[in-house]
Amino acid sequence: MRLYHHFVFPYLLDAVMSNRRLHAPRQRTLAPARGRILEIGFGTGRNLPHYPPDVRRIEAIDPDLDLDRYSLPRIARAPIEVDFHHLDAEHLPFEDRRYDTVVSTFTLCSIPDVEHALAEIRRVLKPGGQFLFLEHGRSPDPAVARLQDRLNSAWRPLAGGCHLNRPMRDLVAASGLVPGSVRSYYLERVPRFAGWFTEGVAQR
């Protein structure tokens, strides 16, 4: 599996994240980004073109060194300055109340201790700060949710630890962040077991 995760998975991840159907959800999610910004789960850097034009600098983290061959060239070409760190979201080495905005897109599904990561996000946000998120997760349709549960154990090792069945809206709310404008929907032309999306804003 190591060869798969080193050579194959980064290519597959970047290909999936380049899907044009994700452009509009990314644009909507990132539109409110302001102030001092932290992006967790930077991945292959596909969010960079979707930040508002007035965003000139972000900080970003991702623990996966195998994604650098995609993310680092994008950082070098981007009009945004990116201060990038190889870190995981469960252990953020940043002081309390540091950021105005924290961004997560297609990341909460793969963090091993997602509750701890959300607590860290809340900790580093300033009072009144915003958590912008775009995630796929557990469908409200019982038949689809049962399928997600059945597929999950086989899916995770092939998809970088991604869980199909995490209830994203509930996880965010349980962290102490206060959901504001949040919408959930099936993304068109994506299999329903992977296509239930939740996007929105939660406040510190």
Q: Which of 38, 40, 32, 46 has the alpha carbon at shortest distance from 78?
A: 46
Question: pLDDT digits over 104-133, tens only?
Answer: 999 999 999 999 999 999 999 999 999 999
pLDDT band at 2 (very low <50, low <70, confident <90, very high): confident
- The domain 2-203: what is its CATH number? 3.40.50.150
Question: Which amino acid, one-letter code, is at 142?
Answer: P
CA 17 to chain centre: 11
Domain extents for the chain? 2-203
Q: Are 107 and 135 in contact, with CB atoms under 8 Å apart? A: yes
Question: pLDDT digits over 132-184, tens only?
Answer: 999 999 999 999 999 999 999 999 999 999 999 999 999 999 999 999 999 99
CB atoms within 10 A of CB 149: 13
